[in-house]
A and B are shown apart, each in its own frame.
Chain A
Amino acid sequence: MKKVFIYGATSAIAQACARIWAQQGCEFVLCARNEERLKLVVGDLLARGASSVDYMVSDARDTGGLKDTVTFAASELGHIDYVLIAHGELPDQLSIETDGQAIKESFELNAVSTIVLISEVATVLEKQGFGCIGVITSVAGDRGRRSNYIYGSSKAAVSTYCEGLRARLSRHNVSLTDVRPGLIATPMTEGKSVPKILLVSPDAVSNRITKSIVNAKAIVYAPAYWKWIMFGVNMLPRKIIDKKDF
């Protein structure tokens, strides 16, 4: 019975992944900010086959408390096989791009808290000598773009951090998967103007994500074709991308 720790368990992608693990009878510790919602997820996973689900309410903005959540998870589960870190928030670029304080807060949530959490988890897994960590970043981190460079650069920070940490963890039999979702139909993209043809449901990527984490992949795009979309975006000459609003 695999043991799973999920931070940001009420996120749509995390729920979809957790359901797959629940069907396999995994044991869980879940963390999220909103207790009422978290309880709904707990009940859902139990009904879908999870053998046990514990939870702890946690706000990632309180980075000082993150060590406690990891300690709680490790002691409840005994050991941790899989970790999924999925919290985050898409800021409204236009309304915060000239507001330094808002940019700082967005970075603290999307970059700093995630990095702190990964580092706490890494310490535990390194010690136990096995385990798989998955972190949800974004294709937005691949290149800074006019429409979302604040979100994008915070995700890029996490990706670069993972790149280095992966090298350290690989010597301890611990994997670190950088999951870069494209456009997923979640509350994050709700109400946003997005090309419908590229929008997929969390259920359409959850299999790929869980498999990549379990199989210790380094970087994975979800859906897979985003690798090629981002390849194209990265190839665009600066002269063109500077004039584009996307």
Chain B
Amino acid sequence: MTRDTFSSWGNYPFKQQPVKDVYWQDEIVDKIDSIKSSDVQTLVVGLGRSYGDSCHFAGSELLRTTNLNRIIAFDLDNGTITAEAGISLDEVLRIIVPKGWFLPVTPGTKYVTLGGAIANDVHGKNHHVSGTIGCFVESIGLYRSDLALVECSPDKNRQLYSATIGGLGLTGVILWVKLRLRKITSSYLDVTKIRFRNIQEYFEVASDLDSNHEFSVAWLDCTARGNRLGRGIYSAGKFSNIGALSLHKESKFSVPVTPSFSLVNKISVKLFNEMYYRVSRTRQPSRLHYDPFFYPLDGVQNWNRIYGNNGFQQYQCVIPTKHVSSAIPELLATISRSGIGSFLVVLKRCGDISSPGLLSFPISGMTLAIDFPQSDILKTKLLDKLNGIVMQSAGRLYPAKDAQMSAEMFQSTYSNWKELDTLRDPALLSSFWARVVT
């Protein structure tokens, strides 16, 4: 009997997997060594924010590292932190913010582990100027069934270093990470919000403002059509010099149970989007704490439960620059015609700073992310069409979010996949990898 079970954030594909918590690095070493001689494989997971099946293991047990959350060193002067891989970004912030440091890159939730952030080479609202988190990784302590402990960095074991950044946790167990931080003098950001009436207007606003704002992102109303197609709110920010180095507080709100049906439907989405588009305060700059700016969804714990028992899929693609102006409107039109959508639609420019990661997702262009309630017809009615547009415009999908792309699509859009498969630790395998590689 195990104490706990583990499922992915999207709850699709639905799978409740037995999970074993590990508390010490030496337990990982023992576990990996013990399965080395056998044919079984395992997979390491953290806080379970991967949406699809990249955190699913085809076998019988997962190892969860959220208790490997010790800090090994925090260099206050040079701004680097070395910590065990299971520490959450939430916890990292609690330690570094009061000392005037911030994460160099942060995803849209602070409830991911440091190891998970590296394994998925996460990007954030500053991708257009900073690149992915992988660009700030100084070294990684990796434990492999064949090589034991390997320290990798840009100068040492570079091949494994590149493969591990964005390597989906398959190149060995990440025991610890050394990350370069970013200096801040305040916890607050000066934020500008601008309402745009359609996607063309967005392109203009973004090209005007992206370059002189470190952080930018846009929310879109996926139900809007015709000349309102792609209307939404653009928000850009930069860290302020004014304000205290104050910490975020834990959210008091939570979705307590999973309803049997999804609360996200045509009516609720239409209503919310109309309201949000109209009510958002725009134009006048405001000062916002980093918590609501970077992590609005963290304000409600377990928000993924609103999709009910069926769960949901997040579709996140990136379209290279030269196809952006044709492919993004086409994707949006296809989505709005389908009548399937949700509150969360995010559009963001990706810059041309390349990540050291072999399988890193972003490419210079634009990334679109949208949540869809899971249903039997979702794939045939919509996702296949979107996949077609993405493929045609030389784009690709984000493995951390994916639960549906075919092996052909993955292999043709991630040309380095074979290299990663060669470097994969034979003791580690995920359902995702088994799906897209065989």
Q: Interface on A for B, CB 8 Å cutoff? A: 12, 36-37, 40-41, 43-44, 47-48, 185-187, 189-194, 196, 199
Given contacts A187-B23, A190-B20, A190-B21, whether A40 and B3 have CB atoms under 8 Å apart is: no
Q: Which residue of A lies closest to B176 (CB)?
A: A40
The reply to whether B95 and A48 contact each other, CB–CB distance below 8 Å, is yes
Alpha-carbon distance between A44 and B71 when the two chains are bound, in angstroms: 5
The reply to whether A43 and B72 contact each other, CB–CB distance below 8 Å, is yes
The reply to whether A48 and B3 contact each other, CB–CB distance below 8 Å, is no
Q: Most chain-A CB neighbours within 10 Å: which of B21, B23, B26, B70? A: B70
Alpha-carbon distance between A189 and B71 when the two chains are bound, in angstroms: 24
Alpha-carbon distance between A199 and B81 when the two chains are bound, in angstroms: 31
Q: Which residue of B lies closest to A193 (CB)?
A: B1
Q: Which residue of B lies closest to A196 (CB)?
A: B4
Given A41-B70, A43-B73, list of 8 further CB < 8 A pairs?
A12-B23, A36-B26, A37-B24, A40-B84, A44-B71, A191-B1, A191-B2, A199-B3
The reply to whether A194 and B3 contact each other, CB–CB distance below 8 Å, is yes
The reply to whether A47 and B73 contact each other, CB–CB distance below 8 Å, is yes
Alpha-carbon distance between A48 and B1 when the two chains are bound, in angstroms: 36
The reply to whether B95 and A47 contact each other, CB–CB distance below 8 Å, is yes
Q: In the complex, how many residue pairs between chain A and chain B have their CB atoms under 8 Å apart?
A: 48
Chain A interface, DSSP helix/strand/loop, else mixed? loop
The reply to whether A191 and B71 contact each other, CB–CB distance below 8 Å, is no
Alpha-carbon distance between A233 and B81 when the two chains are bound, in angstroms: 47
Q: What 8 A-B pairs come out closest when comparing CB atoms?
A: A193-B1, A47-B71, A44-B70, A47-B74, A44-B71, A187-B23, A40-B70, A43-B72
Does B200 interact with chain A (Cβ within 8 Å)?
no
Alpha-carbon distance between A222 and B187 when the two chains are bound, in angstroms: 34
Alpha-carbon distance between A196 and B25 when the two chains are bound, in angstroms: 25
Given contacts A185-B3, A187-B23, A190-B21, whether A47 and B67 have CB atoms under 8 Å apart is: no
Alpha-carbon distance between A189 and B4 when the two chains are bound, in angstroms: 11
Task: Give per-residue flags for B18-46: 1 if the beta carbon is below 8 A from chain A beta carbons, else 0.
Answer: 00110111100000000000000000000
A153 shortest CB reach to chain B, Å = 25
Alpha-carbon distance between A178 and B84 when the two chains are bound, in angstroms: 32
Alpha-carbon distance between A201 and B74 when the two chains are bound, in angstroms: 25
| Segment 119-145 of B: residues with Cβ below 8 Å from A | none
Q: Among B21, B26, B71, point to the contact of A48 (Cβ < 8 A).
A: B71
| Segment 52-76 of B: residues with Cβ below 8 Å from A | 67, 70-74
Q: Which residue of A lies closest to B75 (CB)?
A: A47
The reply to whether B3 and A196 contact each other, CB–CB distance below 8 Å, is yes
Q: Among A12, A47, A190, point to the contact of B3 (Cβ < 8 A).
A: A190
- Which A residues touch B74, using CB under 8 A? 47
- Which B residues touch A43, using CB under 8 A? 70-73
- Which A residues touch B72, using CB under 8 A? 40, 43-44, 47
A241 shortest CB reach to chain B, Å = 23
Alpha-carbon distance between A199 and B3 when the two chains are bound, in angstroms: 9
B173 shortest CB reach to chain A, Å = 16
B111 shortest CB reach to chain A, Å = 14
- Which A residues touch B4, using CB under 8 A? 196
Alpha-carbon distance between A186 and B74 when the two chains are bound, in angstroms: 26
Q: Which residue of B lies closest to A10 (CB)?
A: B24
Alpha-carbon distance between A185 and B84 when the two chains are bound, in angstroms: 19
- Which B residues touch A41, using CB under 8 A? 70
